[in-house]
Amino acid sequence: MTAATTPAEQAEHEAVAQAALAKYASLPRRGKPKRRDNQVREWTVMAAVCLVRGAGPSRQVHCVSIGTGLKALPHSRLPVHGDVLHDSHAEVIARRGFHLWTYAQLERALRAETAKGKGRERDDSEHEAAFFERDLGGYWRLRPEWRVMFYVSTLPCGDASTFLLAKTAEEANSLAEKMAATSLEPEFPPENPSGQMNGGKTVPSLVAAASLGLSTARDQPTGPAGVDALPSTTPQVHRGRVSYSSFSCLRTKPGRADSPPTTSHSCSDKLAVWSLLGLQGALLSQLGMQRIPIDALVIGGVPQEHRERVGEEAGRAVGGRLEAWARSVGLGQNAFTPPLIHFTDRAFEHGREAVAADEDCDVSEVASCSESLSYVADLGGDEREAVEIINNGIRHGAPSRRQHPTRPLPPKARSRLCKLSLFERFVLVRQLANDPLTASDSSSAPLTTYYACKHAQLSPTLSQTYPEPGERYQALKTKLRMPNSGPFGGWLVSGGPWESFDSHGDVNDSKML
């Protein structure tokens, strides 16, 4: 969704971009793109979650989470213990960092409630700005004076970037030249959808992708304007940038044709889901956190001459394509409004174009950074503790080999953003809410599985006055992904087999669904 931007709104969005970029610039150099030994410079993508309060000179912008990254694990390497990050794209790192920040805020608020109940006053040095409060139903919510804005240094991968990608390809001298310049995944004719290139040569990665239900064949655009729903005969999920002239379709993370396939959905798809269901996710919803909407998406790196059309396409991709369906299931504008799309002229210092310009070379001559950086505010301790570097889904420098094949990685090797680590925070906050005296007892029996904690019994309706947030979240997600009726019915779900670990990381085979 796009809207005419007033000078005051533009100033606000520039303030968001400035706050995110300034915080990134202030962080240590470790984990950021560097010059390799062969003198090739690296680049990356950056995303940030910012909270905004007020307007004009009194405006406050609090950057709570930053993520960088471009990588995703192949499907064949997904862990069953929840101890390795599946998806290390910048937007996913930033959103998971927001989850960690929210857990820390709830933990702080619950400890304060416990202290108040015992007649003790908190030390002023421990006081933090209050971002969350209880609503009339007794559930948590972000205070209404704060709004969430999501900054991304370039268009999110997937549906939001397909128009600009197709437009750029049209302007290139030939598609082959464009593919060589941007490492686009080759397109294969419809008669060879099972992994065979012209001439009958089989590509193992494409065979694997086809076995996962991914389209690896070129499809026709989706109508004259390129924005209509895909025909029912068109595969529902495309691999990477295959058929990049098709719009409003689900896509997995881009990758070379010869690379192992992933089942991680594009950031456009994920942003659309977050816009509808809320940035808080399933586990925080189970703790009673109401939907946290994304007010706006601030995007960098888009040429001025393409912004009007790209803004329309990005708005459709990150939420607009779900709006008509949302109204059909009873969600009014207060329950779901797609985020507004705005652009910034501020350049990200480690963006692909910026690095190439500094080197006075083509974008094909700079290399993607293999590491991801995570910054999370307000965790306590010094600034160094706010930053974590991630490589191949685990902490940078940690051994990737397991000490025992059936046991999770040790805590020092796991990222604080992996499913298991965030599940541990969920357990702690739930214990604080239920029984503060046992909340610090790490030897207590583990909870049931991660999967079971995410899935509450579904509510019969979405129109209750004060529906339980966890049930509401799962009910709406189920409707969204319902085969043949939900707009995202083709969503690739890992589900029980990869989420049947308990709060100690042990796999409970009896509860694998």
- What is the structure's pLDDT at 424? 95
Q: Is 278 a residue whose pLDDT tops 70? A: yes
Structure-model confidence comparison of residues 149 and 179, the more confident one? 149
Of 267, 345, 309, nearest to 164 by C-alpha is: 309
How crowded is residue 182: how many other Cβ atoms within 10 Å of its Cβ? Answer: 16
Q: What is the mean pLDDT of residues 277-286?
A: 97
* Element spanning 337, H or E: none
In percent, how much of the chain has pLDDT > 70?
Answer: 77
Q: Is 121 a residue whose pLDDT tops 80? A: no
- What is the structure's pLDDT at 242? 75
Q: Is 462 a residue whose pLDDT tops 80? A: no
The pairing of beta strand 296-299 with beta strand 146-152: parallel
What CA–CA distance (Å, rounded) separates 505 from 482? 30
- What is the structure's pLDDT at 226? 38
Of 304, 266, 308, 46, nearest to 162 by C-alpha is: 266
Q: Please report where in the chains the tokens 């601030």 appear, as a residue.
A: 298
**Residue 463 · residue 329 · CB < 8 Å:** no
Structure-model confidence comparison of residues 359 and 174, the more confident one? 359
SS3 content of the chain, % helix, strand, coil (to 5): 35, 15, 50
What CA–CA distance (Å, rounded) separates 338 from 476? 16
- What is the structure's pLDDT at 107? 94
- What is the structure's pLDDT at 207? 62
- What is the structure's pLDDT at 223? 34
- What is the structure's pLDDT at 469? 93
Structure-model confidence comparison of residues 233 and 54, the more confident one? 54
396: which strand partners?
none
**Confidence class for position 315, pLDDT limits 50, 70, 90:** very high
- What is the structure's pLDDT at 65? 98
The token pair at 427 is: 């357990």
Question: HSE of 72 in the Cβ direction (CA atoms, 13 Å)?
Answer: 23
Q: Worst-scoring range by mean pLDDT, 8-12, 191-195, 315-319? A: 191-195
Of 484, 483, 479, 509, nearest to 497 by C-alpha is: 509
**Confidence class for position 282, pLDDT limits 50, 70, 90:** very high
What CA–CA distance (Å, rounded) separates 125 from 211? 56
Triad 368, 372, 376: Cα angle to 5°: 145
Q: What is the mean pLDDT of residues 445-464?
A: 70
Phi, psi of 388 (to 5 degrees): -135, 140
24 contact partners, CB below 8 Å, separation of at least 6: 46, 48, 66, 68, 348, 375
Q: In Å, how far are 17, 40, 456, 457, 497 from 449, measured between CA atoms?
A: 39, 45, 12, 15, 11
What CA–CA distance (Å, rounded) separates 504 from 410? 10
Q: Worst-scoring range by mean pLDDT, 23-37, 163-177, 193-207, 269-283? A: 193-207
What CA–CA distance (Å, rounded) separates 110 from 128? 13
- What is the structure's pLDDT at 128? 46
Q: What is the mean pLDDT of residues 429-447?
A: 68
Q: What is the mean pLDDT of residues 63-67?
A: 98
- What is the structure's pLDDT at 393? 94
- What is the structure's pLDDT at 338? 96
- What is the structure's pLDDT at 384? 72
Q: Is 194 a residue whose pLDDT tops 80? A: no
Q: Is 189 a residue whose pLDDT tops 80? A: no
**Residue 98 · residue 65 · CB < 8 Å:** yes
Q: What is the mean pLDDT of residues 91-97?
A: 98
Q: Worst-scoring range by mean pLDDT, 133-147, 220-234, 308-322, 417-431? A: 220-234
